Amino acid sequence: MWLGPPRATFPWRARYVAWGVGTVLFLVVLGVERQLGIGFSFFSTGWGLLITIALTRLIGSRISHERPLTAVALMWLRELTAPRKQTAVRGGAASAARIRVERDRPRPGQRSDSRGGGRKERTGVRAPTSCQQQ
């Protein structure tokens, strides 16, 4: 690539698409820095430049003349918007409204013949359940 007069070019090689991507990324990185409350100074701009170089090299390693930037961007967009398998569990929160609460724990020998039969309501404070509130 030729950028500048003969023997006075940049000391590194970069494709034209890398300059375009880098310019756009640099502006985005500086905008993100301002949104995060980082002021415009020498060091923040320097760090922004280093982040831009790293991101540009990452993007540049993914693109080539056989797979241009538009194809990579379109593939990324389609990957993000593709339909996904539903992994959410259907149902609601568990509720303890139907669990019977007794003040005293059952003692051996206090069993009744049938399940739930013969039990009497004990005296004491008891929180109302959703069935009793109606």
Average pLDDT over residues 74-102: 82
Residue 125 lies in a domain: no
Sign of the CA dihedral running 45, 47, 48, 54: positive
Q: Count the neighbouring beta carbons within 10 Å of the beta carbon of residue 50.
A: 11
What is the distance between the alpha carbons of residues 14 and 98, in angstroms, rounded to a whole number? 70
Range of the domain at 20: 16-80
68 is a domain residue? yes
Does 118 fall in a domain?
A: no
Q: Is the pLDDT of residue 62 over 80?
A: yes
**Which pLDDT belongs to residue 93?**
74
Q: How many domains does the chain have?
A: 1
| pTM for the whole structure | 0.52
Integer Cα distance of 53 and 47 in angstroms: 10
In a domain, 21, yes or no: yes
Per-residue pLDDT reduced to its tens digit, 48-58:
999 999 999 99
Please state the rounded mean pLDDT for residues 9-27: 84
pLDDT at residue number 85: 85
Q: CA 96, CA 90: separation in Å to the nearest integer?
A: 19
* pLDDT at residue 31, rounded to an integer: 95
The predicted structure's pLDDT at residue 29: 95
- Judge whether 38 lies within some domain: yes
- 105 belongs to a structural domain: no
Q: What is the mean pLDDT of the chain?
A: 80
